[in-house]
Structure 1
């Protein structure tokens, strides 16, 4: 039986290594939270002001239930999430408690800034029925074609499993990120620099005033 014991031990180690590698890869892929413009992120109907921002955190902290957002007047919540560039959204994870406070549905809207609950009554770009997921094991896959160029994402949670309030511990966003480029500013800076001292003419002054 020694050979059998040795084989099982090796297999166990291999599984542990695979789990670690998978967690590391998922941590890299679920890093879009770093690209959120947190100063302008909004969570409507949050019980404690600013608590909605705390659920956007590292993948490895998704099971940390010390930080969360709870709804206030009822179970409905709406997140307006601006990014510092454009993203291609490929996956979403929603972690709640294993009870009736867990949201039961999420509705996605792209590139509609400052949405209100009235706005969220309209047709979403996509929606998912949510299962209770206290560990963050379930990933929902948005349509890549629809969410391939997103600078603002709204997540509407209209309902939960029956409690008076909803609670969320983690919202994970997986995908690709592209920096925002402001070509107009770059061109103006480049064009205005060359001949200021050597060719300060009336024509240049007129062009320069137009650019500014």
Structure 2
């Protein structure tokens, strides 16, 4: 389940991107990496022979590397973006608390960042969210508000919480602080490849948000 808008059937065109997205570059990601250093794990880049065999059954010379973000805090790369976004808030703004809406991993990530920075967090999650994710968010100290089953339900609940508390909204996607934070995973991958003397032909990235 994702909070991201459903993709259209049309091919992606750069001109469709938000203006801010086209202005982001490697320098912005490098700054994000410096800001979250010590707050997230520099996860390993692993070669996986079994997957190489599955991906190249004819026995070609394919080399496949995985960025093991399952070993990240909260078990997902979302910790990077949330930690960066919460850390970028002005201290007086952050002190009022943070709010987000999410079906799972981003919820855990914002709850983690709020705990690390010692501020309250309110998270709007779907009524059918996995129980284990609800439990983790609560264990991290965030207040969970169950809100319907759709992204619109969760967004509306989060906006109501923001109006009531004055907390800062941490968007689950489509925000430069989130994008740059998530991008640090790829930056680490490129460093690992360079240090291993590997020239990457392609980077395969799953796309989603929430």
User: Does TM-score exceed 0.5, indicating one fold?
Assistant: no
Q: In proportion to residue count, which structure has more helix? A: 2
* TM band (smaller chain): under 0.3
Q: In proportion to residue count, which structure has more strand? A: 1
Q: TM-score, normalised by structure 2?
A: 0.27
Bigger-Rg structure (1/2):
1
Q: TM-score, normalised by structure 1?
A: 0.27
